[in-house]
Amino acid sequence: MIRKAFVIQAKEGMAEEYERRHNPIWKELEEEIKLHGISNYSIFLHPSSRYLFCYMEIADPALLDSLAQSPVCHRWWEYMTEALEVAKPGDKKGWEEELRQVFYLE
């Protein structure tokens, strides 16, 4: 199992909408996430900055990378750009930055 973490940022005034869209996520997206070896997926909001800390455990990096080819994943990304900051106007996926693990205690 490999731990992955990244940050994204909700647009001003969109944090509640972001949360609403995840409760629940689309059933077909949930199934796709699990099929691609992702488990223990959590997202935490830092309200004052609108940063979202995302954590997941993956079975295989290549399997995770292949999720980006899924049509349901692309639909979700486009749907979520309404609520997320993007790197540049017109992007079809919200900005995200992977975090480097600096400490772990089991």
Q: Could you read off the pLDDT of 49-100 as tens digits, one per residue? A: 999 999 999 999 999 999 999 999 999 999 999 999 999 999 999 999 999 9
pTM higher than the cut 0.95: no
**What is the average pLDDT value for the chain, to the nearest integer?**
97
Q: Which of 22, 36, 46, 74 is catalytic?
A: 22
- Say whether 22 is catalytic: yes
Peptide bond between residue 47 and the one before it cis (omega within 30 degrees of 0): no
What is the C-alpha to C-alpha distance for residues 26 and 99, in angstroms, rounded to an integer? 26
- The mean pLDDT of 15-19, rounded to a whole number, is 98
- In this prediction, residue 76 carries a pLDDT of 98
Q: Which of 101, 96, 105 is nearest to 6 (CA)?
A: 96
% helix / strand / coil in the chain, to the nearest 5? 35, 25, 40
Specify the residue for token string 């944090």. 15
| Percent of the chain with pLDDT strictly greater than 90 | 99
Determine the pLDDT at residue 32. 96
CATH code for the structural domain at 2-98: 3.30.70.100
- Measured CA to CA, the distance from residue 78 to residue 40 in angstroms comes to 24
